[in-house]
Structure 1
Amino acid sequence: MEEARKGILAMAGACVIWGLSSMYYKLLSHVPPEEVLGHRTLWSLVFFGLVLAGQGRLGELGRLIVRPRALAAVALAALMISANWFLFILSIQIGHAVEASLGYYIFPLVAVALGFLFLGERHSAGKWAAVALACVAVGGLTWGLGVAPWISLALAGTFGVYGLIKRGLPAGPVVSVTAEVLLLAPLALVWLWGVHVHGWAGLTGRNLGAFGHDLSDSLMLMVSGPLTATPMILFSYAAKRVSYATVGLVGYINPTLQFLVATLVFREAFTQWHGLAFALIWAALALYSAESLRQERAARRAASSAGTSGTTRT
């Protein structure tokens, strides 16, 4: 099997896991989201650590976190991904999975704006038209429901900033994510200690301390680590073998599955305003994808032409 096909299959696998993970976290909806997040962080660290140890790459982790500037970037990335994970878990528990899926549909368009603002990227009129359509979709949904889709915007924003930070890290995605959860682990341990020893309750006002008291809950909390780490590893594998445009297109499997689970499995409300917003977002993504593919083909033709020209001169 050629490398590109392997990459596409790996990306599809990652997106299927991400897209269906909402059903897993729904089964843990009786456990406070802060507690779920704490265990997700700790067991992800265990899993990633074992992977790096098996590959003999733990030294890369040490070299990353001893550099002050890199450590500061990792800390900020850790804050963003932790907030993203928490918001996703919370949205599933409180019945806002539709909004969560909308957030991950919006993310590529948020990335366009962030690239322009912070990286000096110049985008075509087609991509800016896609961003404008997304803004109209969010505005229409806010008008129709009387409240902004804050969960969608926060998920798209935190993941967008996270991706922006990751671009500048001098390490691969698996090493950098391991560093992120390593920095978050002490906070997770303190929180879980408070939950089990002092009965701390989070935003939802609930305290459970499920781990160690219920075998099913304990196992599910432990599996949240591999559930988090496996798609990240698949994504890392895919990103090295297929173009970024292909990664983006296949990536829409994730929010599409989230949307289908939210509406068909969780039976969440889907109003005419949601229908209008999603229709506009899908149109924006179609425009964005078509423009990305056009630019990629143009870049390939230019590279091929330059290579041919160089060979002729030689």
Structure 2
Amino acid sequence: MTDTVLETAITQIDAARAAGRVPVIRTFFDEPTFTATHVVHDPVTRRAAIIDSVLDFDQPSGRTSHASADAVIAYVRAEGLTVDWLLETHAHADHLSAAPYLQEQLGGRIAIGAEIRTVQGVFGQVFNEPASFARDGSQFDHLFTDGERFALGEMEAIALHVPGHTPACLAYAIGDAVFVGDTLFMPDYGTARADFPGGDARTLFRSIRRLMELPAETRVFLCHDYKAPGRDTFVWETTIGAEAAANIHVHTGVAEDDFVMMREARDATLGMPRLILPSVQVNIRAGHFPEPEENGVRYLKLPLNLL
């Protein structure tokens, strides 16, 4: 079956490279959560998107702060950018989103993949959310579907559904660059886990193979880096060609069944992410906290002996 969405993405990337219309990208790396937040803008119109932002969170005290987000805000204002989009590649399990705070300061629409509704349904049960918790994605300003096209100023962009790590994972191709979230890591580190509720290693493999059909020169921006053994610096940019040639888990030639066997065995050895319980509760709400209780205080739940 012809993947017309992928063909559109390939055409967009090739055209952007041929015309020299490529986005400017500045990355802010949050070492406590190993998260890369990308600010991407059209150099002509200076319209911008912020992808996978981080809210600072001290779990022992339950306190939040905004140093990471404020650094992004300072850059946006210094560069004279107008923020149109606050994009999430998925509902993260390792950090809290700062999207509502950034929206308050800079504007823009908070967006994620339409399958967030599936994630909300699953984790709504995990956290025994009340009926008042909407499971229709309405906490977000926009839900992208696979192949949906949008613009960043005069620069074309398209959303690609790449499930496997979670059901709602998206990659955003903007100009000649693609932002893949947790679907891929640097070639020397491999791929994301697929054992969270709704995750699936076989689906992840097929999503990665789809991404690897993009032009080899496509710039790839990752959401995380953890320094592979023998590497002393954090890195969050690579190319489709480099991933296809050298990704230690899923380079060209790795069979689907072999990948699934490896991924499932590896996932079985991994502990839960340190911030998964607070992160997911917040991120399925588009970065908002649960409503305050009678005493005016907002609370996050800690389910015991469930996950």
Question: Is TM-score (shorter-chain normalized) higher than 0.5?
Answer: no
So what's the TM-score if we normalise by structure 2? 0.25
So what's the TM-score if we normalise by structure 1? 0.25
Structure scoring higher RCO (CA < 8 A, sep ≥ 6) equals: 1
